[in-house]
Amino acid sequence: MSFSEEKQLDERDGRYLRKAIVWSHAARRRGNRPFGAVIVSESGEILAEAYCNSGETGDCTGHAEINAVRMLGARQIPRDELARATLYSSAEPCVMCAGAIFWSAIGRVVYGVDAPRLRVFRGDHADQRDAQLSCREVFGASPHAIECIGPALVDEALAAHIGAWKE
């Protein structure tokens, strides 16, 4: 299996990606799958922070990115502002989350561990598999540009996954 080359981040991207990784650890501590997300405006304001809560709620759509995007709705942030915002995710967004990012108009994504590396941890259990379509493929079908940077800080992002998945 071939893995994507890890990207180097500047200080700002590294700081916010690490916040998303902290949320992934919080999710795991609460009995959820270890994923976290943070959405940050162009000016550096944190617009939303979330973790995966599907274990707590039983909602299979309770992914960290979806939960963060849902928080934006209550704030009624203009789409042009979201186009300049960045979503930081502890792991590569799945197809569902990539679709939500597209529909929200967020213009930039920075993620930690990529899906192929994560699949090694998740194994081959039916309830742990994902649709093997990269977020870049989803974003590539968008009529508006969505910049995508990752994988980055892979070892840090993987730490929450060690021992978290069925053998």
Angstrom distance (rounded) from CA 167 to CA 163: 8
Helices 64-75 and 11-29 cross at an angle (nearest 10°) of 110
Angstrom distance (rounded) from CA 124 to CA 44: 39
65 is catalytic: yes
φ and ψ at 62, to 5 degrees? -80, 40
Catalytic residue among 65, 137, 147, 167: 65
Angstrom distance (rounded) from CA 4 to CA 114: 8
Q: Which residues are catalytic?
A: 65
